[in-house]
Amino acid sequence: MTAARVGIGGPVGSGKTALIEAMLGVLAETGIETAVITNDLVTDEDAERLRKGGKLAPDRVRAVQAGACPHTVIREDPTLNMAAADRLEADYPGLDLILLESGGDNLASTFSPNLVDYWIFVIDVAGGDDIPRKKGPGILQANLLVINKADLAPHVGVDFPRMLAEATEVRGGSAVLPTVCRKGEGVVEVVEHLRREVLFK
């Protein structure tokens, strides 16, 4: 069976890389062989961060530079990311999962189904509790919506239960999970969700 390809998108600073960092430990404990492709604008910043984190062998973290709007390489022409994923699968035949992290983008960001089998959109409470109500395509179309930094809600005037309820409502009941990635909270649930929906192990 080929490796599942899972996209992770969302606004700048919402916690995409933090989610991956937190997931890597849980995935390793579960015996899921993982690799990561990061997309940055003109640097390898996120890839370097993950390599320094030491939870994956450095060569299992590959970087693709978008050079332009991040969505161009996950939706309009995902060729670079598809090639990087193909190379990872060739280099590591036993891979179960390839996580593809988009560069930080806006609420209209979506992944091409030609690139990923499943995709997560990450927002955070500090970005404002009105984000779900704005109904961006990223919010509506992602297979899973993660709302990160749930612990900051009281500090930024956010009614978190209401934000969760509104997010679930605009998505027509599709999955929404809360996390505090820096503390690892909610991350096991994200991994369990992926195991059921796309990893099948």
Partner 1 sequence: MKDVDGPMMLETVLGLASDREWHDRLHALEHEGGLETIAIPEADAARKRMRVTTDRGRDCAIALPREQTLTDGAVLFHDGRLAIVVRIDGAARMRLKPASVDDALRLGHWCGNLHWKVVFGDGVMDVVLDGPRERYEARLVDLHELASFEILGAK
- Residue nearer to partner 1 on the CB measure, 57 or 108: 108
54 annotated ligand-binding residue: no
10 annotated ligand-binding residue: yes
- Residue nearer to partner 1 on the CB measure, 143 or 148: 143
CA dist., res. 160 & res. 156, Å (int): 10
149 annotated ligand-binding residue: no
Buried b / exposed e along 160-173 (16+ C-beta atoms within 10 A): beebbebbeebbee
Extract the tokens encoding 128. 């404002």
Amino acid code (one letter) for 81: N
The dihedral through the CA atoms of 100, 101, 105, 110 has a sign that is: positive
- Residue nearer to partner 1 on the CB measure, 60 or 75: 75
Extract the tokens encoding 127. 């970005």
CA dist., res. 109 & res. 98, Å (int): 19
Ramachandran area for residue 15 (φ above 0: left; ψ -120 to 50: alpha; else beta):
left
- Residue nearer to partner 1 on the CB measure, 30 or 112: 112
Minimum CB distance to partner 1, residue 167 (Å): 17
Minimum CB distance to partner 1, residue 141 (Å): 7
Minimum CB distance to partner 1, residue 201 (Å): 8
Minimum CB distance to partner 1, residue 3 (Å): 10
Question: Contact positions toward partner 1, by CB under 8 A?
Answer: 1-2, 4, 75-76, 86, 108, 110, 112-114, 117-118, 137, 140-141, 196-198, 200
* 153: DSSP letter: G
- Residue nearer to partner 1 on the CB measure, 1 or 173: 1
12 annotated ligand-binding residue: yes
52 annotated ligand-binding residue: no
- Helical axes 16-30 vs 45-53, angle rounded to 10°: 40
Minimum CB distance to partner 1, residue 52 (Å): 31
125 annotated ligand-binding residue: no
Binding residues, by number, are 10-17
Binding-site residue ranges for GTP: 10-17
